[in-house]
Copies of this chain bind each other. A is one copy, B any other.
Amino acid sequence: MTDSTPVTAVGVDFGGTFVKIGVCRGAELLETDEPISTADHQGPDTLIRAMSECIAKLRSRHPEIKAVGVGVPGLVDYDRGYIHVLTNVPGWSHIPLRKILSKQIGLPVTVENDANAMTYGEWRYGAARGMKNVIGITLGTGVGGGMVLDGKMYRGSHFSAGEIGQMSIHYDGVSGHYGNIGALEKYIGNQQIAEHAQRRYAQAGRHKEIENCAPKDIAAAAQAGDDIARQIWDEVADWLGTALASIAWLLNPDAFVIGGGVAQAGALLFDPLERRVKSMLSDVVWGALKIIPARFHNEAGIIGNAALAADVFGEGTPI
């Protein structure tokens, strides 16, 4: 690994609405192109073509680009660069993306789950740089996760590891998408936080429209001194903290790195979260454990995927 001269690579952050593409050298985002709207394309064929054209354009300005890393919101076979299914993007199932894309652009390609790529970026260049065992978590509409264990990306037996949002925090709780009772995501997803907040306000005799109960609204209210809003963050922290404590008992990691929209609440979330997790662990497991905000935000996907592709196909740490 020669950090002094990182390989230049393209990172592709394939989201439900936009595909964002940029050029990175290590943690440095050199250039991004206009996002591609997924709605402008009927299916994979023209969207992949648009990605290829964008990458070709970036490459004309950065001929040193050595590889392309694509992160997608769904289940992939990392070894084959094959997309099983992207739940929120119509038409995207059974797509051998690596094969198609690398043929069109003439560069090697990685295809990775988005939460894995975010975790890789934070471990390689971000908040958890160089740590041995790192759990990355994204808090948003859903709750995603990725893991670097013993210094390597851990993907599980069928590339499905890291589904932290599907873990149970209550054996007799709310049912998740897969019938998984007590699924964390059903407590602290964006929409679930909003609905919970609306209920808490109603209990206190205060009516709030659901549009005004988004996590950012509850964060603003708490910062303005609203006790109910603060209490809601404490509850969110208790739910998330229960899952993190379980993961800590199981994996004894160095750090949890937390990103995504809900993490923008900052100390409102992180302070009670630290208290909760600490209260549930032994001194040894808590001892050197860090719970830290992600370094990268909107650019996390581009940087993480570029870093992974650069390391796999460049001169970095193969993973």
Contact = CB atoms under 8 A, between A and B. Distances in A.
A238 B172 CA distance: 9
Interface string A222-256: 00000000000000001100110111011111100
Contacts of A171: 169-170, 238-239, 242
Q: Copy number in this complex?
A: 2
A50 interface: no
Interface string A143-182: 0010101101011111111111011111110000011111
A284 B169 contact: no
Interface string A266-291: 00000000000001111011011000
Contacts of A280: 168, 178-181
A182 B242 contact: yes
A261 B305 CA distance: 47
A145 B252 CA distance: 13
Contact of A245 (B168, B242, B249): B168
A288 B182 CA distance: 23
A133 interface: yes
A36 interface: no
Given A152-B150, A168-B246, A171-B238, A252 B282 contact: no
Contacts of A288: 157-158
A132 interface: yes
Contacts of A147: 250
